[in-house]
Every structure is written in structure tokens, then in C-alpha cells.
Structure 1
């Protein structure tokens, strides 16, 4: 038992290959269907443009959409996974939020600091805040879902993320609960381990010392040390304002995830 409906934005931006690979790997492992979503923002939106120019842009957009669809469907057919295709007239974040209630997971790309096509750039953070469905942040690199690491700080957000990741965690070959020594809040890691055990999932607990202001780097180091294929974590357990001013684990992981990140706000 695992995720069965994975929502995937399929635009020809710089992150498509990585999120397609991660979503495909999950679909192969759990027998999931990919819900491919192509959002069509009206060509020339927000620009002063002639009717003929608008028509030309519309034709170019249609051709681009067909190219993306052919390329994606070819890869999915070769991978032997099932998919559905949805065209949506409008903003990609609105489209994903609208489809999210009937999806188990949404595969998106990391936020970028600057440069690159803008399609995926604004998606991860607003979607994290608006979506009722967990996100999978898919960076470049191999996509596998054997060894899981839970970034545990004892907050309600980390508990919610762990609970919603149960379908993934049941298929894990190993589960590690990692807590920064100075970052334990309402629920100690023993409570997390007991919860997993009640669901038939064995886990190992780890305390990462000297995290301090570098908790994100510490979690990254622990993921590498443990050979984690993916990280489960809650998003914005501190206020967004604090994270904007002082930095934080969520903002770091949205931009520089070391491995795929299963995240829920």
C-alpha cells in the first residue's frame, strides 16, 4: 500500500526531468497512476499585444504543449506506468491546488534563487501553504525510496508529515528518526517511534548534536551519513516571518534539498 495518485506538473522547465523521474520511480514502486497536469496561462497575459500577436503566441503555446505531452508520455510508456493527462486553463498553482484533494502526493521542483524558466520557481512555497496534499520536492539526482529519514523536531507539523507519509514508510527498507539536540518540542522522538511501531514500522532514533542555527545543514549531513533516499519533514513549524528574517529548515530544503523531500505544512 502506498501513494496511488501522484499529481505531476508537466511543463518544459528546468525541473521537469527530475520531478518526472521521482514520480515515475514512486509509481513503479507502488503501482501508482501519475496525474499529469499542464496548465495553460493565456499567452501574452499582462502584456500589451495585438490580436495577431496573441494568435501567434497561442499557436506556439499549443505546439509547445503537444511537444511536452509527446515527450512525457513516451517516457511514461517506456517506464510501464499508468497516467492521465489534464489540461488546465490558468495558473499552475491554482491548477494544482484544485486537483490536490484527489491526489496522495504532488511532485514539484525546488525553488530556485534566480535564473531559469519561471514555471516551477514560484510553485513549491505557495503550494506548500495552500495544498491539502503533501509535496514531494524532487531535486536533480537519483530517485529512490528505500531508506527514509524523518526530520523530527517534536512539532505538530512534523507529526502530521510523518502520519501522512505512512504509506511511503511502510514500503521503506529502513526508517531513521533524526532530531537536533536543541530542537525537541512537544513530542519527544520516542513518541514518534512508538507511533510508527503501532503501525508496524520499525525505526532507529538518532540525536544530531550541535545543530543550533545550522539545523538544515545538520539534517543534510545526517541524510548523507545514513544513506537516506528521502526525508520526511513538516513545513514551517516556526512562523514564515521568522524564517524569512532568520532563515530556517523549511526555506533551506525548499531551495537546496539533498534528496527528495516529503513535506507537509
Structure 2
């Protein structure tokens, strides 16, 4: 298993350049094709007057601005793609749904960790929405990070469908790593079961040629994200592999505690699967 196509959202905002640099690096690492998607749409509500009318000249100007933004995004994408094989796709739609649908062409999505300046849902894709809707692994980077070495990787284990999916989706990274730690955070009563689970996962990964070992930490559930980051720091891991837990309620994404912490305050790269 490997990644053959890496998808990245290319924006006109220069702050998105870090994401493009990272995506191109990963594409080269796996000899994959890089799919850059520029996606933005006209804010129809912003064009309406108090009576709900939209002037034709406003529409023309707004569409012209979207076209300019997409052209700028394409230029930025191509300049950062470098030697990676790449393809460009421009869409005039809401970003997150369009990227989630386009992900049927990709094996991995590289996403931004936090909103960029002057963002809106019609210009910028929310990472949580991509993770929960795309059906593909999503790599989220901490601010300013463009070099993912993934020589040491921490698998955040929880005996769930999402964690199993994430571990399988991360195999291309895990097989290249020098060391992989499968870690579960549990209460004192659950240590024996957690030790058995993490040992089984480590042995499964070893069957794939991955150098993996188990690790169990006793702590309160609220500290799970903190403990995972502490262990990642201790082993020198710049990548955490994690299942993503969440659902949509009343047009808002409700996320699990660790998922929310990793998205809001990412200290290192996180590969999520839902």
C-alpha cells in the first residue's frame, strides 16, 4: 500500500503556501501525483441588499474576483509543486463539500490546521469537516511546519473503528518509520486490557514490516491528548496517527475531546481518519 495521489486545497492567500510546500514534499516522498484544487464561490448573501435583491453588476464583479483568486491560487500551487507530478482543478463551489467529493480521486488530503486570515466558509475548507466527510485520511500540520520526517510515529490507540481505520490509512508512513509506538491512555482498572490491545496492534503492524511496540499510560480521559503529546515528544515523534471522533448536530461539528484538542492546538503533525 502507498499513496498515489495527494490532494491539497490551494488558496490565493499566501499563508496557504506552507500547506502547498508540505503537500509537494509528501507527494515526492511517495512518488505520488499532487492534485491541487482551487475552490471558492460567490457569497450571494453578501451581495444582497436589505430587500434580498442582487444587482447584476455586483454579481459580475464578485465572479470576476473569484476568477482572479483561483488564478492566483493556481500560480501559487504550480510554483510550490516543483518537481512533483501535479494536476490543477478549479471549482466554483463551497470548499469543504467540493474537496470532500473530489477526494474520491485521492489517497491522502493535506489540510490547514487553523483558519487563515480573512477566511469564510465559501473560501476556506474546515479541517474537521474534511475529516468527517471525505472518507479519506487527512493530514493536519501545526503552524509553520513544512517538513514531515515521520521517522518516529505515535499511534493513538483506542479500541474503535476510527482508530483501526487510521492505523490502516497510515501504513505508508508507518512502514517507512524507524520506530512506531502504539499507545493507549486508560484508567487504572483498564491497564491489563489496554496492554493486550496495544500488544496485538503492535504485532499486527510488525506483520506489515513495521517496527512497532506497545505503550500504556494511566491517566484521566481528559488528559489523553496531553499524555499522547508528552509521549510523542519523549520518543521524538513528529507525527501522531489518530482516529477522529465527531458528528454533525444543528449545523455544527461536535468533536471528541482528543480530536478537538489536536485540531485546535496541534503541537505536531496529525494524520486523522474517521
Name the SS of the counterpart of 1:188 in structure 2. Answer: helix
CA contact (8 A) 1:18 1:138 kept: no
Q: Structure 1 residue 146: deviation in Å?
A: 2.2
Normalising by structure 1, what TM-score? 0.87
2:92 paired residue among 89, 93, 100: 89
1:137 paired residue among 140, 150, 153: 140
1:101-121 C-alpha deviation (Å, 9 max, x unpaired) = 221011111245x96423576
Q: Structure 1 residue 245: deviation in Å?
A: 8.3
Partner of 2:229: 220
Partner of 2:165: 160
Partner of 1:172: 177
Partner of 2:55: 50
Superposed, 1:192-231 pairs within 5 Å as 192-231=201-240
Counterpart Cα distance in 1 of 2:15 and 2:237: 21
CA contact (8 A) 1:139 1:259 kept: yes
Partner of 1:188: 197
Superposed, 1:93-104 pairs within 5 Å as 93-104=96-107
Normalising by structure 2, what TM-score? 0.84
Counterpart Cα distance in 2 of 1:40 and 1:239: 25
Q: Structure 1 residue 81: deviation in Å?
A: 0.8
1:250 paired residue among 247, 259, 264: 259
Name the SS of the counterpart of 2:176 in structure 1. Answer: coil
Structure 1 runs of 4+ aligned residues shifted over 4 Å read 119-122, 183-187, 238-241, 244-247
Name the SS of the counterpart of 1:136 in structure 2. Answer: strand
Partner of 1:74: 79
Counterpart Cα distance in 1 of 2:168 and 2:38: 30
Counterpart Cα distance in 2 of 1:261 and 1:246: 15
Q: Structure 1 residue 90: deviation in Å?
A: 0.8
Counterpart Cα distance in 2 of 1:178 and 1:159: 13
Counterpart Cα distance in 2 of 1:96 and 1:234: 20
Q: Structure 1 residue 34: deviation in Å?
A: 1.0
Counterpart Cα distance in 2 of 1:229 and 1:13: 26
Task: Count how many residue pairs are aligned between Structure 1 and Structure 2.
Answer: 258
Q: Structure 1 residue 57: deviation in Å?
A: 2.0
CA contact (8 A) 1:128 1:135 kept: yes
Counterpart Cα distance in 1 of 2:11 and 2:146: 20
Q: Which has the larger radius of gyration?
A: 2
Q: What is the aligned-residue RMSD (CA, Å)?
A: 2.6
